[in-house]
Structure 1
C-alpha cells in the first residue's frame, strides 16, 4: 500500500531545503530541487537550484536550472540561469539561457554553451 502511494507521486513535488542558520560542508548531488537559505561549502550537482536571499554557496554548481537571489562564490554551469536583483556571483557563468535583473552583481565571465560545430558561418549561408 505504501509503495503504491509513493510511486504515484512525481519527484518534482519534493524539494530539499537547507534552512537559514544551517551550514553544510561537502558535495551535494540531487536529481530534484534544492532551496538553499543557509550556507553550503562544497560543489552541487542538481536538477533545479534556488538560492534564497540569505543563501550562500561556496563551490561550483552544475544544474539544469539555477535561480540566484543570494551569493555564489564559484562557477555556475547550467542550461538556464536567472539572477535576481539581490544576486552576487563571484565566478564564471556558463549557460544556455541567462536572465540578469537590474541590481545583480557579477564578477566573472559569461560564457554561452553553444556548440560551435552546429553553427553555420554567415558566408556559407549566403552561398547556399
Structure 2
C-alpha cells in the first residue's frame, strides 16, 4: 500500500534544499518588538523595535524600522528611525531615509539617499556603542570633543 520510494524521494528533496540562515520579514508584515537573530535578515515590512544580528541587515525599498539596528553590515534602501550601529560597512542606497545617529567603521551613501543625524566612525566610538546595544534605552555615545564643550 505505501511504498518506500515516496519516503526516499522526500528525504532526498530535503537534502537538495539549500540550507541558509536568512530571515525575511515580508511586505505587509508588521512586527511590534525586538528581533534578535544570528544570520542575515531582510526587512520589507515594518518593525517597531530593536533589530540585532551578528550578520547583515537589508532594509528593502518598502521596509521601515522604527528602532535601533545592530549588525555586522547593512544595506538600507527603505526608512530607518533610530540609532544604527554597524561594525563594518553601512550602505545607504536608492531612496533610503535614515533619521538617527550612525556608528560604523565604513560608510557609503548614494546621492539619492537621505540621512539626518550624526555619524561616528572612530573605532573606539563604534566599539563603545556596540557594547551598549543590549540596553536599548542607553544614551548614544558622545565623542570626547563634545563632552569637553558641554562642560565649558
**TM norm. shorter chain > 0.5:** yes
**Residues 89-124 of structure 1, C-alpha deviations (whole Å, 9 max, x = no match):** 0001100011111111001001103238xxxxxxxx
| Residue number in structure 1 paired with 2:97 | 88
| Residue number in structure 2 paired with 1:71 | 79
Distance 2:116 2:48 in 1: 19
Q: Aligned to 1:28, which of 25, 30, 35?
A: 35
Q: Return 5+ residue gaps in structure 1 as ranges.
A: 117-128
Cα distance, 1:29 vs structure 2: 0.5
Q: Return 5+ residue gaps in structure 2 as ranges.
A: 1-10, 126-152
Query: What SS does the aligned partner of 2:62 have?
Result: coil
Distance 2:70 2:123 in 1: 16
Distance 2:48 2:21 in 1: 23
Query: What SS does the aligned partner of 1:115 have?
Result: helix
Structure whose alpha-carbon radius of gyration is higher: 2
After superposition, the CA RMSD in angstroms is 1.8
Q: Which runs of 4 or more aligned residues in structure 1 lie more than 6 Å from their structure 2 counterparts after TM superposition?
A: none
| Residue number in structure 2 paired with 1:123 | none
- TM-score normalised by the chain length of structure 1: 0.79
Distance 1:21 1:85 in 2: 21
- TM-score normalised by the chain length of structure 2: 0.67
Q: Aligned to 2:110, which of 101, 105, 115?
A: 101
